[in-house]
Structure 1
Amino acid sequence: MKLVVDGFGKSVAKRDNQIVIKENGKEVDYFRAEDVSQILLTGKGSITFDALTLLANHDIDCVSINWKGYVDYRLTPPEKKNVIVKKEQFFALADKRSGQIAKAFINAKIENQKAVLGTLAKSRSKDEFLTAQRDKLNYYLDKLDGLKKDTSDNLRSKILGFEGQASVEYWIGFQHVLDEKWGFNLRSGRGATDPVNSLLNYGYAVLQSEMWKSIYLAGLDPYCGFLHSDRYGRASLVFDLIEEFRQQIVDKTVLAIVNKNQVDVDDFEFDEGQIRIQDKARKLLIAKIMDKLNSKINFNDKKMSYEDIILYQGRLLGKYLTGEKKNYVGFSRRW
């Protein structure tokens, strides 16, 4: 279970084997440590030393997200001591495994973009425009498939080029189903100036915390990526793995709450030249993403939650790098 600590004046404390949440010094809730997988901090408050020890003993990390949708910091237990996985991760950068992994991330991303557009078209009496946008993505999947095996360094520019072109078509389809009042003119990334992009940014930050957890438990190095190039301070592998899950978990959630009028333009305001999500909309978004992460789908012939699938993909990557698995296949769905 992911625990969200929201608002101001909150504190996280310990009592025996329990995580205790307080507000202005008064206890408001408590949870058994073994039932919590992660704590998401979205407000301002404090945490006691005893609570940090309890969290470390149960492999529970804390992730703080600010109002702009950026991860401010992450408090983690000691690193997993599986040096073999990390060594193979570094070695793979110099061989063709790295290129295969980079391709797998983007292949899964485009397949999921197709799935979202296909679902949108189906729910709108097989909307011809959305169907056409979905079908355009097959071209970029074919291009990816046609790339010769090589290192990620040698393939990166081509892979990211295909990904970028596919994403343009995807966001055109995404825009097609939004009311003009939202002012969504394709994906803008950081520094959102419209409500939909601000929801996407915040949702991706929440999802990013799940990637950190998966990578940590798999014994991988979050700063050594295959698709995203190395850059000081950038958790490249986190941004690699998240590509497989953005569409099914965040994009669909944002579309649902916007198109079902669960949020309104008045739930957003400008702050420092960017859109700020007000508390009501932000709490709703977090709750809906938590629901999505806990929801179960058919995966590998069994019912699994998205949260567990993310953990599975991290372990699969580690097993591929160490030779326990012959291939790494990214996560994707048909719908």
Structure 2
Amino acid sequence: MKARRIRKRLHRMELLLESPGLRLQRRDGCFLIEREGQPSLKLAPAQVTQILAGRGILLSSGAIRLAAESGIPLMLVDGQGQPSARLWSPHYGSIATIRRGQVYFAEGMAGRAWVAGIIAKRLRGSARLLAEQAPEEDPVCLTAMETLHRQADRIEQHIETEGDWRARLRGEEGSAMRTYFAGLPRLLPAGWAFEGRSRRPARDPFNCLLNYLYGMLYSYLEGDLIRAGIDPYLGVLHQDEYQRPVLVFDLIEAYRTWVERVALKVACEHMDPPVDWFQVREGGWWLLPPGKKVIITALQAYLSAATDSKRGSRRQRMQAACHALARRMTRARPDG
């Protein structure tokens, strides 16, 4: 049975249900996870923080009501790990002050400074990854590291205040990241080599891993923002994309390097892409259940690992960052 514990703290967990045929039901005030011919798993609502259900999972109305009544977000995720639907209580979990301040924050200098810091963090994290794992004196990686640090310095020191600052910031980030993704393949075994980023669909096995891991990260961050009382559809750098959680697109940049480290570790443990992990169709590469099992387990271990005694696990740091952002938004006022 693939009812995996993504995070566990004081017996609380995030569940990923992704094996077709699993049934999530309600029994005696608890969640019951069943599959024909296998032992069932019973969990009290107090043990569960979030439920992610993949394709082919059967959800009873009782289980859905129990999740809503208990304030547990329940998401349906697609084959790439990205949320396609979210079931949630009809009541917001916070006061409107946060969302009112979010409008001021998104349009003011406070938001610009925040998102510039997020992008700079992304660039420096990428440079650090290359510095730690690149072959010694590799010219492509050295060029990428120099570019990433230079652009991060520029973004932090010169926060745009006039004109189309969003387009300029995205352009600066994009040019730096192209050099990063030119250097990243040099950290991989030859069988995983790739040329540049490719999204939907992935053009190679490594981008396929990245796409699925990014998708899971989107799911986590969207839920974290909602629980912190923040509207994920009101962004700062990314704006006005219909039915898309654009603030997640801003925030995820702070954490992309984490999943890139996970993908690198998995790839380096398998010199060539295992044939049973992938399917090539519709002009791209798609991850199959055996591959999902490996990278989900790897991501679970990475996010749940304690980084230090004060800040807790990486997963806890993500959640704390969303609550800290909510506090900043509460203090936001109109500029001028």
TM-score, normalised by the number of residues in structure 2: 0.87
More displaced stretch, 261-270 vs 11-20: 261-270
**Aligned AA (1:257):** V
2: distance between equivalents of 1:320 and 1:181?
A: 45
For residues 165-212 of structure 1, the C-alpha deviation after alignment (integer angstroms, 9 at most, x for no partner) is: 111121112111123433511111221121111111111111111101
Q: Report what 2:110 is aligned to.
A: 97
Q: Report what 2:286 is aligned to.
A: 276
Which of the residues 36, 42, 52 maps onto 1:24? 36
- For structure 1, the residue ranges without an aligned partner over 5 or more in a row are 325-335
Which of the residues 202, 210, 221 maps onto 2:220? 210
Instruction: Tell me, yes or no, if the aligned pair for 2:189 and 2:271 is still in contact at 8 Å.
Output: no
Which of the residues 185, 201, 204 maps onto 1:191? 201
2: distance between equivalents of 1:263 and 1:314?
A: 38
For residues 276-328 of structure 1, the C-alpha deviation after alignment (integer angstroms, 9 at most, x for no partner) is: 21211111111111111211113xx714111111111111111111129xxxx
2: distance between equivalents of 1:93 and 1:66?
A: 29
Q: Report what 2:132 is aligned to.
A: 119
- Alpha-carbon distance change, 174 to 14 in structure 1, aligned in 2, over 3 angstroms: same
Which of the residues 263, 267, 284 maps onto 1:258? 267
Q: Report what 1:320 is aligned to.
A: 328
1: distance between equivalents of 2:297 and 2:272?
A: 13
2: distance between equivalents of 1:144 and 1:318?
A: 23
Indicate whether 1:146 and 2:146 are aligned: no
Helix, strand or coil: the match of 1:44? coil
Q: Report what 2:74 is aligned to.
A: 62
Runs of 4+ in 1 over 6 A off after TM superposition: none
Alignment RMSD, CA only? 2.2
1: distance between equivalents of 2:180 and 2:220?
A: 24
Which of the residues 3, 10, 20 maps onto 1:8? 20
Which of the residues 117, 129, 148 maps onto 1:137? 148
Q: Report what 1:75 is aligned to.
A: 87
- Alpha-carbon distance change, 150 to 318 in structure 1, aligned in 2, over 3 angstroms: farther
Instruction: Tell me, yes or no, if the aligned pair for 2:101 and 2:331 is still in contact at 8 Å.
Output: no
Indicate whether 1:292 and 2:302 are aligned: yes
Instruction: Tell me, yes or no, if the aligned pair for 1:143 and 1:162 is still in contact at 8 Å.
Output: no
Helix, strand or coil: the match of 2:174? helix
**Identity percentage over the alignment?**
25
2: distance between equivalents of 1:246 and 1:48?
A: 34
Q: Report what 2:316 is aligned to.
A: 308
1:69, distance to aligned residue in structure 2 (A): 4.3
1: distance between equivalents of 2:328 and 2:293?
A: 38
Which of the residues 59, 63, 66 maps onto 1:51? 63
2: distance between equivalents of 1:33 and 1:194?
A: 40
Which of the residues 182, 206, 215 maps onto 2:192? 182
Instruction: Tell me, yes or no, if the aligned pair for 1:182 and 1:265 is still in contact at 8 Å.
Output: no
1:91, distance to aligned residue in structure 2 (A): 2.0
- For structure 2, the residue ranges without an aligned partner over 5 or more in a row are 1-12
Report how many aligned residue pairs link the two structures. Answer: 318
1:110, distance to aligned residue in structure 2 (A): 1.0
- Alpha-carbon distance change, 41 to 321 in structure 1, aligned in 2, over 3 angstroms: same
Which of the residues 216, 232, 237 maps onto 1:227? 237
2: distance between equivalents of 1:93 and 1:125?
A: 42
1:149, distance to aligned residue in structure 2 (A): 5.4
1: distance between equivalents of 2:126 and 2:154?
A: 16
1:80, distance to aligned residue in structure 2 (A): 2.2
